[in-house]
Amino acid sequence: MAPRALAATLDTLPTGSARHSSADAAPDSARLLDLYRMLSNVRQLDTSAVAWQRQGLIPGYAPMLGQEAAQVGAGAAVDKTSDFVFPTYREMGVAYAFGVNMVEYMSTHKAIWHGGLYDPVETHFAPFQAVVGGSVLHAVGWAHGQTLNAASTAGAGLGVGLAFLGDGASSQGDVHEAMNFAAILKAPVVFFVQNNGWAISVPTEQQVAGGSVAARAAGYGMPAVRVDGNDVLAVLEATKRAVAHARAGLGPVVVEAMTYRRGPHSTSDDPGRYRTLDDEKIDGGEDPLTRFRSELLARGVADAAFFAGVDAEAQRHADDIRDGVVALESRPGSEMFDFVFQESTPTLGAQARQWREESEHV
């Protein structure tokens, strides 16, 4: 079996269908180096977070090892000011590329607050989502809202909703409803599928009938791009084109990034029970960071010294984030009651008072 990332690609997205200056321009060398910087930082942070869990600093974590190119490429393709990201529980790399405060992001893995402590409105990065497929419809609704807003404002291109989902999530009814709603509403949303080969222990072959989520798009009259998800430049380009298409009001697009979950599903998972190290080697293919390093060397825009410097910097950065995570304190129990409603109720107020009396003895 060949590396999954190299699976036959599919591209039904009309090229140049939408004028998109940014997407047309191939990334210049500064941009290329910046992409590597992000990849290196994300890799470092992901590896560190796994270590934090082993050290007991955080109770659990969902590694994205191997998906760095897919996540950094996607995150780098959207506009922090006009677009909105709807992540799952594994989009640490997108959060990083999108500029989310990573200590606030990691707070969810420290069991401090389910949605994370970052501000979704300021960051345009929706709260951490633990329901598989749960937020895909939200992206469609949010995106349709941009269309409705545009009806009143000048047509300066639409804000785009970027919905993240996995191969497993594609089985959920909500994802079908989301794709159908989006196509009917012509909503500016991009369904970004990270097909990483696994849903916990279930391989894509037993999950996605037909073998490709991108191939489903045609059934909704939607364009789709299936791309090598371990090639950061390919992902960046494909996502930019998809976003430009949606931004131009031409409707939703599916991007399926073929990648591989090189690590366990989560720190409590044991992949040895359902796949061998050989499988991992063959299916995983070449490490996306190694690939991009070779690419940069080939292009002559970077050298070993650059990589060493960036990687060391990433290590320091991860250590700083660790300090921040260590310093994170639990939220007061009173916040259980504070955020249930915008306007609390007498019943809830009474429960909060009783909790204070019995648990805080005040």
Partner 1 sequence: MSDTLEFVTEAATIPLVQLSMQQAINRALAEILDADDRALVFGEDVGVLGGVFRVTDGLQQRFGANRVFDTPLAESGILGTAIGLAMAGFHPIPEVQFDGFAYPAVNQIITQLARMNYRSRGRLPMPVTLRVPSFGGIRAPEHHGESLESLFAHVPGLKVVSPANPQQAYHLLKHAASMPDPVIFMEPKARYWNKGEVNLADNEGSFLEGSVIARPGKHATLIAWGAMVSRCLQVAELAAEDGIELEVLDLRWLKPIDEAGLAASVSRTRRAIVVHEGPHTAGLGAEVAALVSQSCFDSLRAPVERVTGFDVPYPSGDLEDEYIPNIDRILFGVQRVLEYRRG
Ligand X SMILES: Cc1ncc(C[n+]2csc(CCOP(=O)(O)OP(=O)(O)O)c2C)c(N)n1
Please give the sequence-ordered ranges of beta strands (E in DSSP) within 160-232, or none if there are none: 161-166, 189-195, 198-199, 202-203, 224-228
Q: Which of 53, 196, 259, 267 binds ligand X (CB under 6 A)?
A: 196
Give residues 177-236 in contact with its own copies (rule: CB under 8 A).
177, 179-180, 182-184, 206-211, 215-222
Beta-bridged to residue 203, according to DSSP, are 198
Q: Identify what 196 binds: Mg ion, partner 1, its own copies, none; CB under 5 to 8 Å per kind.
A: Mg ion
Three-state SS annotation for 201-219? CEEHHHCCCCCCCHHHHHH
| Number of residues binding to its own copies, judged by CB under 8 A | 26
Shortest approach of Mg ion to residue 65 CB, angstroms? 13
> For residue 179, what are its two tokens?
């794709």
Q: Which is nearer to its own copies, 25 or 200 (CB)?
A: 200
Q: Identify what 211 binds: its own copies, partner 1, ligand X, none; CB under 5 to 8 Å per kind.
A: its own copies
Q: Output b/e per residue, 200-210; b: 16+ Cβ within 10 A.
A: eeeebeebbee
Between CA 102 and CA 81 the distance in angstroms is: 19
Shortest approach of its own copies to residue 23 CB, angstroms? 25
Q: Which is nearer to its own copies, 145 or 203 (CB)?
A: 203
Shortest approach of its own copies to residue 218 CB, angstroms? 7
181 counts as binding ligand X under rule CB under 6 A = no
Give residues 13-72 in contact with partner 1 (rule: CB under 8 A).
59-60
> For residue 278, what are its two tokens?
């050989």
x/- string (CB under 8 A) for partner 1, residues 209-248? Answer: x---------------------------------------
Q: Which is nearer to its own copies, 8 or 362 (CB)?
A: 8
Ramachandran sector of residue 41 (left: φ over 0; alpha: ψ -120 to 50; beta: rest)? alpha
- 228 in Cβ contact with 11 (< 8 Å): no
168 counts as binding ligand X under rule CB under 6 A = yes
Shortest approach of Mg ion to residue 184 CB, angstroms? 15
174 counts as binding its own copies under rule CB under 8 A = yes
- 87 in Cβ contact with 128 (< 8 Å): yes
Give residues 174-203 in contact with partner 1 (rule: CB under 8 A).
174, 177-178, 180-181, 184, 199-202
278 counts as binding partner 1 under rule CB under 8 A = no
Q: Give the dihedral of Cα atoms 201, 192, 263, 310; nearest 10 deg.
A: 180
Beta-bridged to residue 190, according to DSSP, are 162, 253
Q: Identify what 247 binds: ligand X, its own copies, Mg ion, none; CB under 5 to 8 Å per kind.
A: none
Give residues 301-330 in contact with partner 1 (rule: CB under 8 A).
330
CA atoms within 13 A on the CB side of 301: 16
What is the amino acid identity at position 290? T
List CB contacts of 345: < 8 A, sequence separation 6 or more: none
Angle value at C-alpha 189, between 186 and 191, nearest 5 degrees = 120
Q: Identify what 250 binds: its own copies, Mg ion, partner 1, none; CB under 5 to 8 Å per kind.
A: none
Beta-bridged to residue 166, according to DSSP, are 194
Beta-bridged to residue 193, according to DSSP, are 165, 256
> For residue 349, what are its two tokens?
């107020």
126 counts as binding partner 1 under rule CB under 8 A = yes
Shortest approach of Mg ion to residue 168 CB, angstroms? 5
Q: Which of 26, 111, 131, 209 binds ligand X (CB under 6 A)?
A: 131
Q: Given the rule CB under 6 A, which residues bind ligand X?
A: 90, 130-132, 166-169, 196, 198-200, 261, 265
Q: Given the rule CB under 8 A, which residues bind its own copies?
A: 171-177, 179-180, 182-184, 206-211, 215-222
